[in-house]
Structure 1
């Protein structure tokens, strides 16, 4: 166990929280019950990995815990060691959260926080313990509550694979781990979901009451490194992965009937390389079925900035791990993504878009193996009448069934008449899909994600006692000319800058070069069609300019680890 002194800076807030308790978050409700004004922005932050044993000027081979490196250039750095196998010193995690407090806490509506708030188990001389893991998570949660929750900003955490002991292993709940996090995250979990959380560590929060929700999933029950669960096996309806997706379907159906939109968040992203095959199929099918209700999917874990697609063609009655959006090949993740992007429709028709879901994976705060980063997303908060839409109407269930194979691999009739398959989820993959070309995931309107700005620390190796790290804009998904009001159009009463001008580099604070290096993607929004167009551009980029940018952002100028 580490010394109390080592935790002092990080835990000082936890002591304050114990003495003066902050109220549990009540999304966007003030004492007067007047809805809180929306800013149209939210934070996605992931994989902080604070390490109480980190010491500057020690060897990376010891996880930056002890000994001097043989070469000075291999010494661990004061605020963290970039491109290394070492975790974050408290100086870095505190600096990051303090930066967000001073610069962004009053500019955002909610926080999606996708897990891993304890160090890796990468030092056999200092093995992790459950109490250390809980202490670290308690400290980070306390600071998140103090910075955001105390302002009434909903914070939605997810359980990471390093937030449990042993790492990657989580038995079906209720158990000591789910009970502990129910306590640690008590300010963030709405009371009606407490029992559900204790059973499975998943829950949902209405971040804009009656309009927008975030569902936090426990991906440990889908993750194929968790060897104590059955991986959504169709023969085991009480497997925790199956129970979680059953619950997810109920939540999505309820939100759909209430005409609400939903973000889905979690730690480990859904891919055949990460999920049990049957969990992958169920997650993909559920995501496609509720495409008109889900505005996006946000995950962490990979520590690599990228996106990929879940596709209708991935669904088979007998799941095959080699079939899917992200396969492992000898070329690595970058080459795999380009291969998958090359199979996207070049000029997608409306019906083509029914068959795709986009997953965004955010880079990490921990500089292992790249550089500290976070993302600020923007989303459309115009009123329905302002965006040219009719007032909200209750959606009618779709009667349409799609013509792709979705569960029809092999002789499905034969399979589903057999005792082995009958009355299992595998024989219910032909339910109607709720895809709608006029939904926010497909057409820019209220709650459609519009873009994001990614910030990172470029001077981590030079930061020291007198010069703290600097978070700078790395890139934007928007066209540069969308950062300022159009001088040729009449402005709305209050023009909402996607990114406040003070958070932009000098080159972007005034209207200027549309081809700036900060805005290579020029995406008008983050709808499914826009992501498919970007994927095709990356696949077809014979000049490699855009492709090189994409790779640079993935690995922050280094090679894939």
Structure 2
């Protein structure tokens, strides 16, 4: 049972948002669609905590006890580099900033889960009603800020959005039913039945052109002991059913010449997913590389990227020596070591790679609050909103060059692995938007954070500031001579720091990566630079961004 003061806070918050306009992008009358801005928001891991109190002990989850030393006390807007979750002051402040400075500048919102506090206080155990109440409050704010403007919001289920933590049984169940109600404004009506079965669905954020698929990674996550882990002998396992559904969705979108973002909470890796679920994810990622623009996840609370690769589907690979453990050890060192195994440019087949982007969270646990604004190419959309499927698509298929797959698949345990079952043709095309900058291609992102979080108080708000961007500094402003006289700023001038507002500059501390775009080849090129032992400054910046000075 929640204490009375918490219930009152939740009641007033709900009352406020329930009075908001309820118009959603799936129920609006046929009116002129919003003009595309070529940007979208990713926000993840808010973790609001109704029990958070100011000046309490960080060792007590910022819930009680006032330490003698100020450095051990909680702060008004949140406590950076701690194990404490977000006070309502922080979640409200973040959403207010998005409402004021970004809601009119974006086309859709990718919201990758965890909207309830961690279960990190034995004296205050979480309850299902508290988890649902917190998710309802945040969902209503998202609806008020974005859906009321006709902006699609695509939420995903986090491992802390369920009770017990990390455990989700096959649906339909009480959890999938509850979230089908909480997220009703965001889920297109045709997907409600699918959602109740498995908490996954799809949204066409630009009708007939661009979609976002929200996956329920709880059915792939190896901490969820209530599912079977996508074993081939269990076709009704919820992970297998979800992959079957995803395969159909990708085939349909590809047939319609649409492009797709895959999103979810827990990133797909050999350290996070059940082995057989990971194999299926890698296979689909590479089989539909010409249709999938990218992969957006949260959960890890650290800023990074990594690859799913064709070699992950081989048998004779020493997986233990190569796999990235995203749970233990130093993540940065593990990634740099993995990047060092990339082949030289002349020997790299980009058909064999998918790029996983992991965004850091709003919660300052263990670093600083953040959100990301992505930009993507919308040039030519108005002239040709729906393309025609090319008939000369390149086909490729990786068939086990590292070992005798046909021989190994005759015997157990290999015969029962998805590695032996998945033999469909891969659809990869160097001229697809994930590989070459064109309509719908991802161009870059800007990451905002609050470096002065601990300084905020009742009379002085903290500030969201630009931490860094992936762009080249010259790409933030129009070129001297423009062919069509139009330029879509990747970051609106008002949301740039003063040093970047006036015009193009050749160098800036905010543009360390200088990436031309976010296509597969650009990410592989960045990974090679990071693996280069001579790039000490770049490696240092990559580590600083990952841990925000906290480690």
> What's the TM-score bracket when you normalise by the shorter of the two chains?
over 0.9
Which residue does the alignment assign to 2:173? 175
Q: Alpha-carbon deviations, 1:229-265, whole Å to 9, x = none?
A: 1111111111001110110000000000000000000
Aligned equivalents of 1:460, 1:263: Cα separation in 2? 32
Of residues 460, 476, 501, the one that matches 1:483 is 476
Which residue does the alignment assign to 1:77? 75
**Pair 1:376-2:368 in alignment:** no
Other structure's SS at 1:106 match: helix
Aligned equivalents of 1:270, 1:130: Cα separation in 2? 27
**Pair 1:45-2:74 in alignment:** no
**CA separation of 1:465/1:19 partners in 2, compared to 1, >3 Å: closer, same or farther?**
closer
Which residue does the alignment assign to 1:322? 320
Of residues 338, 355, 359, the one that matches 1:358 is 355
Which residue does the alignment assign to 1:66? 64
TM-score (norm. length: structure 2): 0.95
Q: Alpha-carbon deviations, 1:152-208, whole Å to 9, x = none?
A: 100000000000001000000000000000000000000100010000000000000
Aligned equivalents of 2:317, 2:239: Cα separation in 1? 15
**CA separation of 1:215/1:416 partners in 2, compared to 1, >3 Å: closer, same or farther?**
farther
Is the Cα contact below 8 Å between 2:43 and 2:361 reproduced in 1? yes
Residue pairs, 1:124-273, within 5 angstroms: 124-273=122-271
Which residue does the alignment assign to 2:450? 457
Deviation for aligned residue 1:21:
6.0
Aligned equivalents of 1:5, 1:374: Cα separation in 2? 30
Is the Cα contact below 8 Å between 1:48 and 1:364 reproduced in 2? yes
Q: Alpha-carbon deviations, 1:339-361, whole Å to 9, x = none?
A: 11111233256x71000000000
Is the Cα contact below 8 Å between 1:310 and 1:324 reproduced in 2? no
**CA separation of 1:333/1:174 partners in 2, compared to 1, >3 Å: closer, same or farther?**
same
**CA separation of 1:554/1:418 partners in 2, compared to 1, >3 Å: closer, same or farther?**
closer
Is the deviation greater in 142-151 or in 392-401? 392-401
Aligned equivalents of 2:433, 2:478: Cα separation in 1? 23
Which residue does the alignment assign to 1:405? 400
Aligned equivalents of 2:500, 2:8: Cα separation in 1? 40
Is the Cα contact below 8 Å between 2:315 and 2:405 reproduced in 1? no
Aligned equivalents of 1:486, 1:126: Cα separation in 2? 57
**CA separation of 1:556/1:10 partners in 2, compared to 1, >3 Å: closer, same or farther?**
farther
Deviation for aligned residue 1:510:
1.8
Deviation for aligned residue 1:399:
7.5
Of residues 406, 423, 426, the one that matches 1:430 is 423
Which residue does the alignment assign to 2:114? 116
Is the Cα contact below 8 Å between 2:370 and 2:447 reproduced in 1? yes
Aligned equivalents of 1:96, 1:392: Cα separation in 2? 37
Deviation for aligned residue 1:10:
5.7
Of residues 461, 470, 474, the one that matches 2:463 is 470
**CA separation of 1:317/1:249 partners in 2, compared to 1, >3 Å: closer, same or farther?**
farther
Is the Cα contact below 8 Å between 2:374 and 2:445 reproduced in 1? yes
**CA separation of 1:536/1:426 partners in 2, compared to 1, >3 Å: closer, same or farther?**
closer
Deviation for aligned residue 1:379:
0.2
Q: Alpha-carbon deviations, 1:366-424, whole Å to 9, x = none?
A: 000000000000000011698xx998322448673434517x755535635889948x8
Is the Cα contact below 8 Å between 1:204 and 1:216 reproduced in 2? yes
**CA separation of 1:135/1:384 partners in 2, compared to 1, >3 Å: closer, same or farther?**
closer
Which residue does the alignment assign to 1:497? 489
Which residue does the alignment assign to 1:549? 541
Deviation for aligned residue 1:75:
0.4
**Pair 1:529-2:521 in alignment:** yes
Deviation for aligned residue 1:428:
3.3
Deviation for aligned residue 1:23:
3.1
- Structure 1 gaps, min length 5: none
Deviation for aligned residue 1:431:
1.0
Equivalent residues, number: 551
Is the Cα contact below 8 Å between 1:397 and 1:434 reproduced in 2? no
What's the RMSD between the two structures over aligned residues?
Answer: 2.4
Q: Alpha-carbon deviations, 1:289-316, whole Å to 9, x = none?
A: 0000000100000000000000000113
Is the Cα contact below 8 Å between 1:277 and 1:319 reproduced in 2? no
Aligned equivalents of 1:348, 1:384: Cα separation in 2? 34
Aligned equivalents of 1:420, 1:548: Cα separation in 2? 41
Deviation for aligned residue 1:52:
0.1
Aligned equivalents of 1:366, 1:331: Cα separation in 2? 22
Which runs of at least 4 in structure 1 moved beyond 4 Å after TM superposition?
7-11, 317-321, 328-331, 408-411, 416-422
**CA separation of 1:87/1:236 partners in 2, compared to 1, >3 Å: closer, same or farther?**
same
Is the Cα contact below 8 Å between 1:50 and 1:89 reproduced in 2? yes
Aligned equivalents of 1:525, 1:541: Cα separation in 2? 24
**CA separation of 1:480/1:418 partners in 2, compared to 1, >3 Å: closer, same or farther?**
closer
Which residue does the alignment assign to 2:511? 519
Is the Cα contact below 8 Å between 2:394 and 2:429 reproduced in 1? no
Other structure's SS at 1:533 match: helix
Deviation for aligned residue 1:12:
3.5
TM-score (norm. length: structure 1): 0.93
Deviation for aligned residue 1:326:
2.2
Is the Cα contact below 8 Å between 1:272 and 1:324 reproduced in 2? no
Is the Cα contact below 8 Å between 1:310 and 1:325 reproduced in 2? no
**CA separation of 1:449/1:543 partners in 2, compared to 1, >3 Å: closer, same or farther?**
closer
Deviation for aligned residue 1:71:
1.4
